[in-house]
């Protein structure tokens, strides 16, 4: 009786098992991915960040961030002190927000719906690079338009593709879903239009964990930094 084929088969099965074990051990669990994301956000808060484009030009200076609680934020009349580079941490979502300008006009009233033009910079914190931006001339005539509703203090929204076929977010990620982290500022900002040179439309900065981001961030477990302006469309 020849034993060689049996031995070869055993060796092949052993090699297959070892390959499977190696493959499993090299993959990260969801818990490990979240831990890596948390460390990346903590590092981002503590670094003197300057966001640059692919050519090395400065897009925005983030700086080291001072985190405040929601209670302190409310006590400060729902503002973040820009001189201290403050961001408020919303504990339930893990989103950090800095209000740079509260904007013109009025807040979106309960029961009302509005179309809002959004221009933004999206910086992948894990990748340490700009991932997408719509604040450039290329998107000037084709911005992201958000259709947002205030349902008794709870905001829902989608990217409107009927008017212009969709902006950068829709064309990049193929979804009309607005990242839930983008909706948090609407409790505090106004969404009018700029009617005079000394007025400024609403501008915020956000750190959005994967759980509050778009589908690509959620599935790949990475956080993003955003600088976004919001301006109400003309009726």
CATH number for the domain including 185?
Answer: 3.10.50.40
Least confident of 46-55, 196-205, 226-235: 196-205
Residue 129 lies in a domain: yes
pLDDT score, position 209 = 98
Q: How remote is the C-alpha of 54 from its chain's centroid?
A: 20
Residue 46 lies in a domain: yes
Query: pLDDT class for 199, splitting at 50, 70, 90?
Result: confident
Residue 67 lies in a domain: yes
Contact present, 178 and 159 (Cβ < 8 Å): yes
d(CA 65, CA 86): 6
Contact present, 141 and 176 (Cβ < 8 Å): no
Residue 115, phi then psi, degrees to nearest 5: -100, 130
Residue 166 lies in a domain: yes
Taking the model in full, what pTM does it have? Answer: 0.86
Residue 20 lies in a domain: no
Residue 22 lies in a domain: no
> What's the number of domains the chain is made of?
1
pLDDT tens string 31-47: 999 999 999 999 999 99
> Dihedral of the CA atoms 8, 9, 12, 14 (nearest 10)?
-110
- Pairing between strand 144-151 and 113-124? antiparallel
Please give the residue range of the domain that contains residue 141: 30-232
pLDDT tens string 141-152: 899 999 999 999
pLDDT score, position 14 = 40
Residue 93 lies in a domain: yes
d(CA 103, CA 123): 23
């Amino acid at each position: 009786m020849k034993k060689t084929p049996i031995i070869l088969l055993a060796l092949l099965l052993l090699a297959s098992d070892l390959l499977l074990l190696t493959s499993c051990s090299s993959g990260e669990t969801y818990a490990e991915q979240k831990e890596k994301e948390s460390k990346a956000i903590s590092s981002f808060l503590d670094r003197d960040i300057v966001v640059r484009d692919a050519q090395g030009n400065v897009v925005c200076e983030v700086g080291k961030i001072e985190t405040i609680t929601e209670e302190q934020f409310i006590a400060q009349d729902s503002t973040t002190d820009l001189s201290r580079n403050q961001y408020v941490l919303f504990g339930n979502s893990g989103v950090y927000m800095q209000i740079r300008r509260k904007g013109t006009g009025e807040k979106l009233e309960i029961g009302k719906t509005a179309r809002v033009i959004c221009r933004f910079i999206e910086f992948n914190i894990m990748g340490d690079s700009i991932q997408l931006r719509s604040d450039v001339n290329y998107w000037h005539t084709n911005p992201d338009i958000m259709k947002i509703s205030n349902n008794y203090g709870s905001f829902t929204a989608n990217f409107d593709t009927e008017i212009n076929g969709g902006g950068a977010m829709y064309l990049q990620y193929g979804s009309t879903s607005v990242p839930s982290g983008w909706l948090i500022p609407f409790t505090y900002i106004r969404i009018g239009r700029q009617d005079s040179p000394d007025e400024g439309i609403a501008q915020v900065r956000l750190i959005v964990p994967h759980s509050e981001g778009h589908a690509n961030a959620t599935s790949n477990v990475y956080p993003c930094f955003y600088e976004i302006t919001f301006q109400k469309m003309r009726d």
